Chains A and B, each alone.
Chain A
Amino acid sequence: MFANALWVMSGTALLGLASGVLGVFALLRRRALMGDVLAHAALPGIVLAYMVTSAKAAGPLLVGAAATGVLGVLAMLAITRHSRLKEDSAMSLVLTVFFGLGIMLLGVVQRMPGGNQSGLDKYLFGQAAAIVPSDVRLITLIAALLCLMALLFYKEFKLLAFDPGFGAGLGFPMTALDLLLNLGIVVAVVIGLEAVGVVLMAALLTTPAVTARYWTNRLSVMLPLAGLFGALSGVAGTLASQVGPRMPTGPLIVLAASLFFFVSLLAAPQRGLLARLVRFLRTRARTRRSRLLEALYDLAEEAACPQTLAAASPEALSRRTGVPVGAVRRHLARLSREGLVDRVPAPAGLAGADAWKLTAAGVAEAYPLVREERLHLVCRMHEADLDGVQWDAGGRLVAAPETLRQLEALLVQHGMQPRLHPGDGA
């Protein structure tokens, strides 16, 4: 029992590895569902091979599946090239018509003398528990060949995935390469059908690749990573299926792969949802802080005498900046810990119980922000007369010294130069 599980595990792991690697190219070619299509398109080939040889030997079935798979790919190419139908329609057409044909042929097989569906119905859901050592040897051989193919044609497949037009311009036979890649997918599908079945083979060709995409922007990293996720899914699914007697291995492998995807979707460092949330919150906090400092600075400036810096209640600041009152209070508390704002007794007639004003350090902190903001405004007003003004990733103004002087002059001309300099104030 245990030895058998080890065989099954190595078989599914290798399967996951090979389909993960191939799936990357399919994904980047925007054909993530190609595995699904080819898995369905293989059915008539498998049934025909069975009808001709009356045996369930892996060899002929593989040849039959590959034959109809290639036919399907050619049909897809013809449809997209010679009509205005798009890839998705071509894929759906091939999938349904070929699968329908397979179902018809299955009906014929059932009526053949001695013919029954046994073995062939496993095609739909797979039966990993039936993997025997000779199967594993076959899977190993084919998985190794597929990975070797990906390695040998790395550069060509990369071109195919990112810029087929450029590849064709360089003189590479892109159509032939496309066929080769799809042939590889067909082969992976066929060896996978026995273990995980038709739908779930589609998952092994899609999910690990999508998962790997979350962790890297480099193809050379993404390929081994997708292989790793595929292999891990195979191992985890096989282990999970040992828990209960009725647990099907194929679907559990897919669920394991989906779990890896889900975790990556949430927690991947750059593209994950959590990372994006953190980035969003940080940016928002930075923006709100700047807006509050700017608003307080503007208030102080509006107050005629620079020595009595104007104060404002959180409610007034919220109205002025559009930042919710609760957030204004939190930011004011933090700014006061930094020594940038001071709480002052609310002047008579001011709404709200508390009021805040900038400290001298606060003025120093706000001054460059305000200046930047006003330069930005002036810049927008005179966009046509200025050249070479840019903002860097952090929102800082980048301009030649000449242009900067021009901008400063414009600020004064509009009466917008910040009047409170660092060092002024209380």
Chain B
Amino acid sequence: MTASLVIVAVGALVAGSAGLVGSFLVLRRMTMLGDAISHAVLPGIALGFLFTGSRAAPIMVLGAALFGLLTTWLVQALQRAGVQEDAGMGVTFTALFALGVVLISAFAGRVHLDLEHVLYGEIAFAPWDLWLVGDVSLGPRALWTMGAIFVLDLVAVLLFFKELKICAFDPETASAQGINVTAFHYLLMTLVSITTVGAFDAVGAILVVAMLVLPGATAYLLTDRLSVMLALAVGIGVLASVLGYLLARATDTPVAGAMAVAGGAVFAVTFVIRLLRQRRRRA
């Protein structure tokens, strides 16, 4: 498999997984959560390093996932305590991020931890980070992690489609029908955390935060049906990652940034076309 293909495939898997769960965030008006989680997991990563002294991915990802869940729980708890949701998010993730930076700075002598690499990991390295079992190479690790996360997200969304749908559109009705709204809230939050953290480990924060909102928001402009929206979001995410890779190749710039920009361009084109159509219909 060529390196380009691996990068595009990993990008597409990130975009697909994030597009699936991100669509629900768009509907629930919580898209900033991806940004919040991607910052708030820093102390989890730092603590993972400090306690084990290893940079083994599973420990780091576990620490990060725990802090991702902690973030969603704190936002929820603050909201119950009367803090407006966006403010609770802002306070939580900045405090945790600051804590992470302080932890890393305080112990920087003992652990080598490149902040920029942690936060802005580069998808371009994905083809060469191989998963080795003994001496046998099973191919790029990011492909396996993101593939697993995509399957997890897909299975969860397919299994609980009806519940997630009614919770996103009308939580009161859901609760009246005996659906445990809180449990499904946390299911979604867990999926968002796992997706963010897994992708973050494989390809860096920018790409996953972008893909949590771009495909879902673009698809939301195009359809009124949730099932169509989810399929469109995955497709748009894949399109954005292919275009982004081509853009990065053409301009010799970082791939993750280019994929975000390509996603932005896809959104902008969709937005303008829809706007022009509306104008024409009205005229």
Q: When the two chains form their complex, are residues B214 and A96 in contact, meaning their CB atoms are under 8 A apart?
A: yes
Count contacts on B: residues with CB < 8 A to the other chain: 60
Residue of A nearest to B97 (CB): A199
Rounded to whole angstroms, the CA-CA distance of A86 and B30 in the bound complex is 10
Tell me the number of A-to-B contacts counted with CB atoms below 8 Å: 196
Q: Which of B60-117 contact A (CB under 8 A)?
A: 78, 81-84, 86-87, 89-91, 94-95, 97-99, 101-102, 105-106, 108-109, 115-116
- Chain B binding surface, main DSSP class: helix
Rounded to whole angstroms, the CA-CA distance of A105 and B106 in the bound complex is 32
Residue of A nearest to B120 (CB): A103
Chain A positions within 8 Å of B212 at CB level: 92
Partner of B261 from the list A36, A104, A125 (CB cut-off 8 Å) is A104
- What distance in Å separates the Cβ of A307 from its nearest Cβ neighbour in chain B? 52
Q: When the two chains form their complex, are residues A255 and B261 in contact, meaning their CB atoms are under 8 A apart?
A: no
> Which of B78, B87, B120, B256 has the most C-beta atoms of chain A within 10 angstroms of its own C-beta?
B87
Rounded to whole angstroms, the CA-CA distance of A104 and B82 in the bound complex is 40
Q: When the two chains form their complex, are residues B83 and A248 in contact, meaning their CB atoms are under 8 A apart?
A: no
Judge whether B147 is part of the interface by a CB distance below 8 angstroms: no
Partner of B91 from the list A124, A244, A258 (CB cut-off 8 Å) is A258
Q: Which of A80-119 contact B (CB under 8 A)?
A: 82-89, 91-93, 95-97, 99-108, 111
Q: When the two chains form their complex, are residues A100 and B260 in contact, meaning their CB atoms are under 8 A apart?
A: yes
Task: Given A96-B260, A97-B261, decide whether A33 and B206 contact each other with a Cβ distance below 8 A.
Answer: no
Task: Given A107-B257, A206-B87, decide whether A96 and B81 contact each other with a Cβ distance below 8 A.
Answer: no
Rounded to whole angstroms, the CA-CA distance of A36 and B31 in the bound complex is 13
Q: When the two chains form their complex, are residues B264 and A108 in contact, meaning their CB atoms are under 8 A apart?
A: no
Rounded to whole angstroms, the CA-CA distance of A233 and B233 in the bound complex is 42
- What distance in Å separates the Cβ of B120 from its nearest Cβ neighbour in chain A? 7
Q: When the two chains form their complex, are residues A271 and B82 in contact, meaning their CB atoms are under 8 A apart?
A: yes
Rounded to whole angstroms, the CA-CA distance of A407 and B41 in the bound complex is 62
Q: When the two chains form their complex, are residues B259 and A100 in contact, meaning their CB atoms are under 8 A apart?
A: yes
Q: When the two chains form their complex, are residues B271 and A83 in contact, meaning their CB atoms are under 8 A apart?
A: yes
Q: Which of A1-56 contact B (CB under 8 A)?
A: 27, 30-33, 35-36
Q: When the two chains form their complex, are residues B84 and A254 in contact, meaning their CB atoms are under 8 A apart?
A: no
Q: When the two chains form their complex, are residues A107 and B254 in contact, meaning their CB atoms are under 8 A apart?
A: yes
> Which of B30, B31, B94 has the most C-beta atoms of chain A within 10 angstroms of its own C-beta?
B94
Q: When the two chains form their complex, are residues B90 and A206 in contact, meaning their CB atoms are under 8 A apart?
A: yes
- What distance in Å separates the Cβ of B146 from its nearest Cβ neighbour in chain A? 18
Task: Given A27-B87, A107-B252, decide whether A254 and B213 contact each other with a Cβ distance below 8 A.
Answer: no
Rounded to whole angstroms, the CA-CA distance of A87 and B259 in the bound complex is 23
* A124-B116, A203-B94 known, 20 other contacts, Cβ within 8 Å: A32-B89, A33-B89, A35-B90, A88-B32, A92-B32, A96-B210, A96-B263, A100-B261, A103-B253, A103-B254, A103-B260, A104-B253, A107-B253, A206-B94, A244-B106, A246-B106, A246-B109, A250-B101, A255-B99, A273-B81
Where the two chains meet, the residues of A that have a C-beta atom closer than 8 Å to any C-beta of B are 27, 30-33, 35-36, 79, 82-89, 91-93, 95-97, 99-108, 111, 121, 124-125, 199-200, 202-203, 206-207, 209-210, 244, 246-248, 250-252, 254-255, 258, 261, 265, 271, 273
